[in-house]
Homo-oligomer: A and B are copies of this chain.
Amino acid sequence: MNKLNKQIKMSSASIPTIRRLPSYLYLVRKAKEDGVEIISGTVIANELDLEPIQVRKDLASTGIIGKPRVGYKVSDLIDAIEKFLNWDKKHNALLIGAGNLGTALLGYKEFTKNGLNFLAAFDVDETKVGSEVHKTKIYHIDTLSDFVKKEHTQIAVLTVRSGIAQEVADTIIAAGIKTIWNFTKVKLKVPKDVLLLKEDLSSSYAVLSVYS
């Protein structure tokens, strides 16, 4: 993808649109498995409790145009969403913190089959170093800097304990990491050119514990 394409892409879809696209993709992939060839925006909207106009706008950002009163060709729609999300490409990443959650993510097929490719995992625990989890080797975190420089990996999935999260984030950013997917509770402070995504499992647990 050249720079111009990336620029066009970045302006053509809002973050909420991007966040909704995986649910469309899952639905349309399933329709394909069931032998469906054409699917309408209204059917998708009904299945996902969204407004049809919202669905059509979201799908239009991927560049696909449906046939009025008919819908989208299922295989084309799958291709369009996958390409738009870059899920047809590999995204090399490092896992930092090979604890319970971290090692679960290494084996989480939902990500790996959509391009996420863990090159290596890092941990401070010497007893874990050298072992493999879901075919990903665990290295000592002290060797991360050299690894990033050699492999030019820019994406890190952060699953360390919260107490050391900021310190580890500083280290991996200094080593060259440009995107951090933060599974810790800490609101990390990062330079402006670092893309930070926070996965906030505690928020849902809060709603659950208040309302159930």
Flag whether A209 is at the interface (Cβ < 8 A).
Answer: yes
User: A187 near B87 (CB under 8 angstroms)?
Assistant: no
Closest 4 A-B residue pairs measured CB to CB? Answer: A104-B104, A22-B202, A19-B203, A179-B212
The tally of residues in A whose CB lies under 8 Å from a CB in B reads 58
User: A195 near B212 (CB under 8 angstroms)?
Assistant: yes
Q: CB-CB < 8 A to A197: which residues of B?
A: 204, 207-208
Q: Looking at the complex, which one of B89, B101, B195 makes contact with A104 (CB distance below 8 Å)?
A: B101
- Complex interface: stretch among A111-119, A122-130, A138-146, A168-176: A111-119
Instruction: Give min CB distance, A86 to chain B, whole Å.
Output: 5
Instruction: Give min CB distance, A94 to chain B, whole Å.
Output: 13
Residues on A facing B (Cβ under 8 Å):
9-10, 13, 15, 18-23, 26-27, 47-49, 84-87, 89, 91, 100-101, 103-104, 107-108, 110-111, 114-116, 134, 154-155, 162, 178-179, 181, 185-187, 195, 197, 199-212
Task: Evaluate whether A110 and B210 lie within 8 angstroms (CB atoms) in the complex, with A26-B185, A48-B187, A104-B100 already known.
Answer: no
User: B200 near A19 (CB under 8 angstroms)?
Assistant: yes
Secondary structure at the A interface, as helix, strand, loop or mixed, is helix
User: A206 near B91 (CB under 8 angstroms)?
Assistant: no
User: B187 near A23 (CB under 8 angstroms)?
Assistant: yes
Q: CB-CB < 8 A to A154: which residues of B?
A: 212
Q: CB-CB < 8 A to A49: which residues of B?
A: 187
User: B10 near A205 (CB under 8 angstroms)?
Assistant: no
Q: CB-CB < 8 A to A199: which residues of B?
A: 201, 204
Give bound CA distance, A127 to B211, whole Å: 35
Give bound CA distance, A21 to B206, whole Å: 8
Sample 14 A-B pairs with CB under 8 A, ordered by A number.
A10-B210, A10-B211, A18-B203, A22-B185, A23-B187, A23-B202, A26-B185, A49-B187, A85-B206, A100-B108, A114-B202, A181-B204, A181-B205, A181-B208
